[in-house]
Structure 1
Amino acid sequence: MRIGFSVPQFGPFADPDRTAVMCAALETLGCHSLWVADRLLAPLAPPDGYPGGKTMPVRYATHLDPLLALGVAAAATERVRLGSSTLNALWHPPVVLARALTTLDLISHGRLDVGLGLGWMREEYEAAGVPWRGRGERLEETLDVLDAVWRSDTVSHTGPLWTVPESTVLPKPRQGPRPPVLLGGFTPPALERVGRRADGWLAASMPLPFFEALWAVAAEAAERAGRDPAGLRRVFRVNPEVTEAEAGPEETHHRGTVRQICDHLRVMCAAETDEVLVDLQLTTDSPEEFLDLAAAFLAELAGPSRPRQPLP
């Protein structure tokens, strides 16, 4: 099992200097990866509400740009993988997105994992000037353009949404033929796309029957496309609500003691390449507590971790 944490970028952690110091500290603790998320705005009265029928956390209204935050994380670290879970791909023209991601892969010396998704908030699409309808088709063509830019010596693309004339687009990413591309989503079409053309799935900690049904869609799609489902990575995000008392067994995919939450994650991670992403930005306001909790999750999931140094 690989163990990753969120790049501090929301609410009280939306400070580039603090982000850099904390990313370096998380790497020192011994984690495998660091991941950014993507928010554009926080509507005061969103008509669609927040997924799961909850209220969107207030701290999501304060955020750092995910691509620039990844640049900060890349400069502050040397070893950890750096990814996005998830980057809302459709808010960027794909050629512009390819250039930014290539630059990040070069800055990080080949440590980038490209995690793309569609988001869930109509208001963000409206503010970005991107149609809400047809998101799946836009993502398919975005992936086509990214592949053309990254894989081809002479780049050319003609599609319903974008045209790229025969061009030279350099430099190429350090990772060849391209950085790994992981896709998010929790619907059958999203999982079908994962199996058909992605390197992995940006998933979440969830009840096992729900997970198994979704993963079966991806595995079957991979087999139909002549791909080996065992070669697909899975990254399970959890935004843990850590409690001192034990929670009920139906809650432990997101709520409970550190041990309960980790026990559920261990069950989900059936392959050596499976990874957990622990996002602690909704769990604490304190950098010190953030790092202490990160150390506790690492100790529970992977055994003893190196002691961390106090923050300057």
Structure 2
Amino acid sequence: MRLATTIFLTDETITPVALARELEQRGFAGLYLPEHTHIPVSRESPYPAGGELPAEYGRTLDPFVALGQAAAVTERLTLGTGITLIAQHDPIDLAKQVATLDHLSGGRFTLGIGYGWNVEEAADHGVDWSKRRALGHDRLALMRALWATEPTAYEGEYGSVRASTAYPKPVQEPRGPVTGPRTLIGGAAGPKLFARIAESADGWLPIGGRGLSQSVPELRRVWEAAGRDPQHLQVVPYAVLPSPGKLAHYADLGIEEVVLQLPPEPAPGVLRVLDAYAAHL
């Protein structure tokens, strides 16, 4: 089982360069970073985990800039977003960022996408909350037109692009319905999410990993009904606090990668946790 990590990197934590080097030296598989452009202080959206929103949400580094630094000082470490708030991006710009990072890292990038929870943040990006999922899927389709081998036009409900020369291309070859880097969709288990994953992704990025005994078989059923090869489905539990029993349970479900949560702290605190997690490698 591959053990990757995630962390809220901020202006007060360990740096991307220092963390990436330490992860690769210790044998961890990857680094995934979350995204929040800003957190409006007049917030009405409740924090999904309950209680007060932790300060790091309003201090996060841009994940693509931070992952670019991590890519430059490593050779094997995979890099990912957990998650990119795809509806909040201009899809042409995002397609270029993703393709550039994947190209420069030698194909080590995973695009984790999701729909968000902070209504106020999305609103400042001009996102109609009720349409954010449809908007996100439309933007992903537009991005894939730019990643296509031949110039490909796209006309969608929310955006369009002319057939264009657009390089670099993501490294990974098209596979089934998926063009571009390895793509995982985050979100709570449910028929709509699972149908979307089977239609347009490489797999699922569930937060925390609870309830997978029931949800993973259901996702596999939907996946196979869509004509996808069951061997290609990837389920990657995200932001996990590990224990031997939990990791063994994931392995029994056929899960091959788990993303462990690191604390948003300066280097000494992060490295202490990494040393503890190394026992699971």
Give TM-score, length-normalised by structure 1: 0.81
Task: For residue 114 of structure 1, report the CA deviation from its aligned partner.
Answer: 1.0
Contact 1:11 1:61 (8 Å CA) reproduced: no
2:153 counterpart SS class: strand
CA drift of 1:74 comes to 0.7
Work out whether residues 197 and 204 of structure 2, in 8 Å CA contact, stay in contact via their aligned partners in 1. yes
CA distance in 2, matches of 1:212, 1:89: 29
Task: Tell me the equivalent position of 2:48.
Answer: 51
Number of residue pairs matched?
Answer: 275
Pairwise CA distance, 1:53: 2.6
Cross-structure match for 1:181:
183
Equivalent in 151, 156, 163 of residue 153 of structure 2? 156
> CA 1:214–1:3 in structure 2 vs 1: closer, same or farther (change >3 Å)?
same
Q: Deviation per CA, 1:41-98, whole angstroms, max 9, x where unpaired?
A: 2333422211133321122221111111111111121111111111111111222211
Q: Is 2:220 the counterpart of 1:219?
A: yes
2:177 corresponding residue in structure 1: none
Structure-2 separation of matches of 1:270 and 1:145: 37
CA contact (8 A) 1:193 1:218 kept: no
The letter of the residue matching 1:183 is: I
Aligned counterparts, 1:283-302, within 5 A: 285-299=265-279, 301-302=280-281
Cα pair distance change 1:148/1:270, threshold 3 Å = farther
Query: Does residue 267 of the first structure (1) align with residue 267 of the second (2)?
Result: no
Gaps of at least 5 residues in structure 1 are 241-257, 303-312
Q: CA separation of 1:217/1:143 partners in 2, compared to 1, >3 Å: closer, same or farther?
A: farther
Q: 2:233 is aligned with what amino acid?
A: L
Structure 1 range deviating more: 31-40 or 215-224: 215-224
Question: In the alignment, does 2:15 pair up with 1:35?
Answer: no
Matching residue's letter, 2:231: A
TM-score, structure 2 as length reference:
0.90
1: CA distance between counterparts of 2:170 and 2:231? 25
Corresponding residue number in structure 2 for 1:123:
120
SS of match in other structure, 1:215: helix
Aligned-residue sequence identity (percent) comes to 30
In structure 2, runs of 5+ residues without a counterpart are: 175-179
The answer to whether the Cα contact below 8 Å between 2:238 and 2:258 also exists between their aligned partners in 1 is yes
Larger Rg: 1
Residue 234 of structure 2 corresponds to 233
Whole-Å separation in 1 of the counterparts to 2:199 and 2:221: 9
Residues 7 and 36, structure 1, Cα contact 8 Å, conserved in 2:
yes
Which residue type is aligned with residue 268 of structure 2? E
